[in-house]
């Protein structure tokens, strides 16, 4: 049974189902709808529909490790091109956000780049690393960006500072 995280969506669904003669609905404190199957009636087979519910929750993409290869002084890493279009037949279905996270032992700048055609790129966001001290006393350089995508194609990039790295990880995820 699905959990409805959006209170508005849950309330609209409950209101719709409460008006339906197909089921007697109860809602418990865990916000999971319970349907009394004894009172349900069967619909004949075929193309019959009760209705359509559009879900507006985010589609969470799989985290992706862009690279773990350390960069030399003043070197740049450019990630793979990601097509944010979800459905190839519809120009209106896109993932809406890219999240990127970089961790290194040296300072640098994390970047998000967008393109309308996957060949002409422009940097639309950047974030210089900030120093972070771990519990064990080691210091890391960390950068994070969450960006709403405007153009169809997106990628991450990272420009290292003037000192060569000995450790580096750049991870990202494209979500709806």
Bigger pLDDT: 92 or 79? 79
pLDDT (average), residues 146-160: 94
Instruction: Give the residue among 170, 166, 171, 169 at the shortest CA–CA distance from 105.
Output: 166
**pLDDT of 47 above 70:** no
**Cα–Cα dist 87/108, whole Å:** 35
Query: Which pLDDT belongs to residue 90?
Result: 60
Mean pLDDT across the chain: 77
Query: Which pLDDT belongs to residue 19?
Result: 58
Cα-Cα-Cα-Cα dihedral sign, residues 135, 137, 140, 144: positive
Q: What is the 3-state secondary structure (H, E, C) of the chain?
A: CCCCCCHHHHHHHHHHHHHCCCCCEEECCCCCEEECHHHCCCCCCCCCCCCCCCCCCCCCCCCEEEECCCCCCCCEEECCCEECECCCCCCCCECCEEEEEEEECCCEEEEEEEECCCCCCEEEEEEECEEEECCCCCEEEEEEEEEECCCCEEEEEEEECCCCCCCEEEEEEEEC
**pLDDT of 9 above 70:** no
pLDDT (average), residues 17-31: 46
Instruction: Please write the tens of the pLDDT for every residue from 80-124.
Output: 999 887 766 665 666 788 999 999 999 999 999 999 999 999 999
**Cα–Cα dist 36/72, whole Å:** 64
Query: Which pLDDT belongs to residue 85?
Result: 79
HSE at residue 97, side-chain half, CA atoms within 13 A, is 14
**Structural domains of the chain in order of their starting residue, each with its CATH number:** 1-57 (no CATH), 64-175 (2.60.120.510)
Instruction: Give the residue among 176, 165, 138 at the shortest CA–CA distance from 67.
Output: 165
pLDDT band (50, 70, 90) for residue 176: confident
Task: Give percent of the chain above pLDDT 70.
Answer: 61
Q: What is the pTM of this model?
A: 0.64
């Amino acid at each position: 049974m699905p959990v409805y995280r959006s209170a508005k969506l849950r309330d609209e669904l409950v209101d719709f189902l409460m008006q339906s003669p197909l089921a007697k609905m109860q809602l418990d404190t865990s916000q999971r709808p319970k349907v009394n199957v004894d009172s349900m009636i069967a619909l004949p087979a075929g193309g019959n529909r009760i209705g359509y519910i559009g879900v507006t929750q985010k589609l969470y993409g799989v985290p992706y490790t862009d690279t773990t290869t350390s960069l030399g002084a003043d070197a740049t890493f450019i990630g793979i091109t990601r097509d944010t279009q979800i459905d190839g037949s519809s120009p209106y279905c896109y993932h809406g956000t890219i999240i990127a996270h970089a961790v290194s032992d040296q300072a640098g700048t994390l970047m998000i780049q967008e393109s309308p055609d996957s060949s002409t790129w422009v940097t639309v966001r950047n974030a210089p690393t900030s120093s972070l001290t771990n519990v064990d006393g080691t210091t890391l350089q960390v950068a994070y960006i969450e960006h709403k995508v405007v153009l169809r194609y997106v990628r991450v990039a990272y420009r290292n500072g003037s000192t060569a790295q000995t450790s580096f990880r750049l991870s990202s995820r494209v979500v709806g």
